[in-house]
Structure 1
């Protein structure tokens, strides 16, 4: 048995991870600020046997108490949301970057053996692409003029189309949003700290996580949760661009297992791993699958034909490294996991804030 601290542990991923760790015999402390946007009026039920301490990531004294005697730390605490990060910049940089800095400083007196930090696929910007001749394209972004004209897919300098391929950890970082910037800063801070203080740091770049327990009232995170909130409220799910953009959806129980493996697997200090399903899904098709599962196949996705600032076109995971080094193998596919997800949604109070989110972005000219 070892003692672990999970920051942000009362959140969606954190609760599943805490249950996973307790089941493996670990002693778990959760540290969480219980932000209303994520948690509503209070924390959801936490796994039996965990210790809970409420506090902000920038409260060094309280963090120090939470860290006492910990062998390992999993750092999940963060503000999450590409769109919101583009206008609540101080909030995201303060919570994510400054919060991580305070955590690292609090560790100096008695560094843990290992620190596992939650990073994000957003740090890649656009995923990896292949040219028509089969060669891999270098770092590439969409041109603003193409996006404004509704030319969503990427092409090379000669105008030839590029094909998306699985993104591995060697793909260069290209930060397209404030959220991505803060996640990369968290990742790099932790890795630099680890080298200086002899802490084994592991960064997990998470792709789109879904499953029971995701906040249904927070329109800035969780594509599947946002779609479910719309459908449960009798409204069509709304999708930016043309709905053919591709993402990787990974189940929260698989993600929890990945974090547990990152805590327990020897010899991986300083490493970065993609955590996804290894599958690519078109967003509009995901919306249609969910609507059918919820008995509302009549609610066809509303395709907006407009782009949101900070969004990318395609990114889905190559998880070869996580398979080989962590022994990580996803056990839940999106297609076979929608039933249990829908059963959970039906037992929840749903608040659809999708229209509110769109209004906030449009008022700030972040939708084109």
Structure 2
């Protein structure tokens, strides 16, 4: 039985990964700061965290805490990160400290004490815009939308002749376009671990997560995943607020599929040194996903509020090409969206949430981060 360390292991994805690993015979230790924005001011061990998880409360930027957590460990999942596109655009030092410095501290510790495998949680956010196809059939990488275009509510990306580009699945080979401090920090985490892993013969895998959803999301965190934010609004009988026109496309993947993909990255020798998309491969519009969530929660009468505004750092369309993960890892999503949403609704029925979305939106607006 191997012992695995998960940094950020008391969080949403980390705790589900712990369940997956324990179910397959691994011992799990979690290093987590229990950040109040995610876990509440009490900062206590989450009830959902598997009883067999050895929880170490500590900061990933603390050298002594990281080195201690690595004692007796055979593999590491590095999930500890500050998460949120909008918030990253004004809490720049915080995001850079936790995501960039925290990863550097971990890598220095692993140079002294190498492990058999390191898996880092990267993000689809580093792609910026996904891949597109022009009306002529040419597949292309689109540039960023101009502020002038966005002020005129012209949301779609266009080619040189002004024709609208159509999104296609985004593969790992697509060049990064870093549209936010969060995206920059995730790319930095990815490259730092792969570069160091290669130099010191630590087999390293980077997984670019798309929009994970499921039970245990931090419902009172207004900078978390979009489905958790919508759920918080609906639990308080408020309308989900959607930027732009709601027709932007994202890839929503069950946290159970994400956890399975993580375990496969740990166990597949050919994964070392590689980067993989972990998503569903199926695009969904944000407005449709909001309406679907309201329906499964029994709150169909609450219609989404379409803001018609742009949030700095957002992109228009991006969904995953998962063919590489299927081919190398044997990863195939197993949770249908309808089933995953039904389970999410069942879990939400027993939850309470502090709706801080309006406060977060006002913060962004006051700083000029919405157009």
Pick the TM interval, shorter chain: over 0.9
Q: Which is worse superposed, 88-97 or 130-139?
A: 130-139
Task: Work out the CA distance in 1 between the residues paired with 2:366 and 2:101.
Answer: 28
Number of residue pairs the alignment of both structures matches: 368
Give the 3-state SS of the residue equivalent to 1:267 in structure 2.
helix
Match of 2:93 in 1: 90
Residues 141-160 of structure 1 mapped to structure 2, 5 A cutoff = 141-160=144-163
1:43 equivalent to 2:55? Answer: no
**What is the Cα deviation at residue 48 of structure 1?**
2.2
Counterpart pick for 1:360 among 351, 360, 363: 363
Counterpart contact for 2:6–2:30, Cα < 8 Å: yes
Match of 1:339 in 2: 342
Match of 1:349 in 2: 352
**What is the Cα deviation at residue 261 of structure 1?**
0.7
1:283 equivalent to 2:286? Answer: yes
Structure 1: segments with no counterpart, 5+ residues: none
Give the 3-state SS of the residue equivalent to 2:223 in structure 1.
coil
1:265 equivalent to 2:268? Answer: yes
Q: Which is worse superposed, 112-121 or 261-270?
A: 261-270
Structure 2: segments with no counterpart, 5+ residues: none
Give the 3-state SS of the residue equivalent to 1:62 in structure 2.
helix
**What is the Cα deviation at residue 184 of structure 1?**
0.1
Match of 1:256 in 2: 259
Match of 2:325 in 1: 322
Q: Deviations over 1:133-187 (max 9, x none)?
A: 1111134221221111100000012211100001000111110000000000000
Residues 1-368 of structure 1 mapped to structure 2, 5 A cutoff = 1-40=1-40, 41=42, 42-45=44-47, 46-368=49-371
Give the 3-state SS of the residue equivalent to 2:5 in structure 1.
strand
Aligned-residue RMSD, C-alpha = 0.8
Counterpart contact for 1:139–1:174, Cα < 8 Å: no
Task: Work out the CA distance in 2 between the residues paired with 1:138 and 1:17.
Answer: 33
**What is the Cα deviation at residue 92 of structure 1?**
0.2
Task: Work out the CA distance in 2 between the residues paired with 1:50 and 1:168.
Answer: 34
Counterpart contact for 1:309–1:366, Cα < 8 Å: yes
Counterpart contact for 1:139–1:172, Cα < 8 Å: no
Give the 3-state SS of the residue equivalent to 2:118 in structure 1.
strand
Counterpart contact for 2:270–2:328, Cα < 8 Å: no
Task: Work out the CA distance in 2 between the residues paired with 1:276 and 1:43.
Answer: 29
**What is the Cα deviation at residue 336 of structure 1?**
2.4
> TM-score, normalised to structure 1's length?
0.99
**What is the Cα deviation at residue 341 of structure 1?**
0.5
> TM-score, normalised to structure 2's length?
0.98
Task: Work out the CA distance in 2 between the residues paired with 1:141 and 1:275.
Answer: 24
Task: Work out the CA distance in 2 between the residues paired with 1:179 and 1:146.
Answer: 24
Task: Work out the CA distance in 2 between the residues paired with 1:350 and 1:151.
Answer: 34
